[in-house]
Amino acid sequence: MAAYEKKTTAGQHNGLPAPVQAPQPAATYPRTRLRRTRSSEWLRDICAENRLSTDDLIYPLFITEGTNVNQPVASMPGISRQSIDLTLEDIKASLDLGIKAFALFPVVAPEKKSPNGEESYNPDNLICQALQTIKRAVPDAGLIADVALDPYTTHGHDGLLENGEILNEETVEILCRQALIQAQAGADVIAPSDMMDGRIAQIRDTLETRGCKNTLILSYAAKYASAFYGPFRDAVGSGDILQGDKKTYQMNPANSDEALREVALDIAEGADMIMVKPGMPYLDIIRRVKDRFALPTFAYQVSGEYAMLHAAAQNGWLNYESCMLESLLAFKRAGCDAILTYAAKDAARTLS
């Protein structure tokens, strides 16, 4: 027998004791009445398997140029593009509601967009100014900075485009520069949402070697080529300019096993946390990721999901508040540790 070969005997699995299966009770009515634990509010609360709190909420914010600028996003009721000063006030109000983390997305002026997205690594760009201003004013606010080129490119893609192809290695080089200036400007978490292969490892190495070793990476590891992103692209101004689609780098909605491969690679490359995007249509992916890797797992309740809730509520077809809270609780039940949601303030007001 080889030196390291293990015997497998009855009751063992790979040399270890087999898991003990708990005996299943013979539950029969009327001795067992499952309605008993639902009969009053305090019983329902004490028996609840999952809970939603403001600690679970991450509030996405759209930041635009100027001062005292508030531009409502028509396809996202209650959401606006705001200048840095108003964004800061919004964050302060959200902190008072118990929201502690914020994801920042820039609305880049058309004249600052280019085919190669050079503005993305300008250390004085809009997002860096916002990070510096907010971190100085409210140092306890958790700031998450998006890393991708689509707000900065004239073609609307998350990477460099050449002859109809998104270039991987060349894009990753720019993403590293973008991530570094954001970390240096005050981002607590760098969130690559581009879906280029190998970018987590190179961003991690860049941060480690340039004095940002404590900056976390939240990887959009399982980001699908979804039809639910439309209102977001309206908000950041990339929807009308997008050339083609993003199916050569974002994931096929038909695939589940592939998501686990993406997540495994990003964890091996140094990701601290994992994102699944969109949220509600991909609860099965969230559950598989959490069960397999037991890493902090987030979901993004994307703009289309948010807009649908509001549209139905405005037509009187459902109750917005009840359905919004139910949808967020579904993310917790699926295994989420946190949820990016445009309904964060609505949820926080209700929960408090």
217 phi, psi to nearest 5 deg:
-115, 120
**pLDDT classification of 237: cutoffs 50, 70, 90:** confident
Q: Which residue, 197, 193, 212, is CA-closest to 298?
A: 193
In sequence order, the 6+-apart residues with CB closer than 8 A to the CB of 243 are 155, 156, 157, 161
Residue 243's pLDDT is 86
Q: Is residue 332 flagged as an active site residue? A: no
CB 211 within 8 A of CB 268: no
> Catalytic residue among 113, 246, 277, 290, which?
277
Annotation: CATH topology of 53-351: TIM Barrel (3.20.20)
- Sign of the C-alpha dihedral, residues 292, 265, 62, 140? positive
Say if residue 314 is exposed, middle or buried (CB neighbours under 10 Å; 0-12, 13-18, 19+).
exposed
Instruction: State residue 45 phi and psi, 5-degree precision.
Output: -70, -45
| Average pLDDT score over the chain | 93
- Active-site entry in 7, 92, 213, 223: 223
pLDDT for res 234 = 79
Contact by Cβ (8 Å): 331, 339: yes
- pLDDT, tens digit, for every residue of 175-202? 999 999 999 999 999 999 999 999 999 9
Domain ranges of the chain: 53-351
Cα dihedral 315, 317, 320, 321 sign: positive
Is residue 247 flagged as an active site residue?
A: no
To 10 degrees, what angle do helices 199-209 and 257-269 make? Answer: 20
| Mean pLDDT, range 265-293, rounded to an integer | 98
Q: List pLDDT tens digits, range 314-334.
A: 999 999 999 999 999 999 999
Please report the sign of the dihedral spanned by the C-alpha atoms of residue 65, residue 307, residue 322, residue 45: negative
Residue 279: what pLDDT? 96
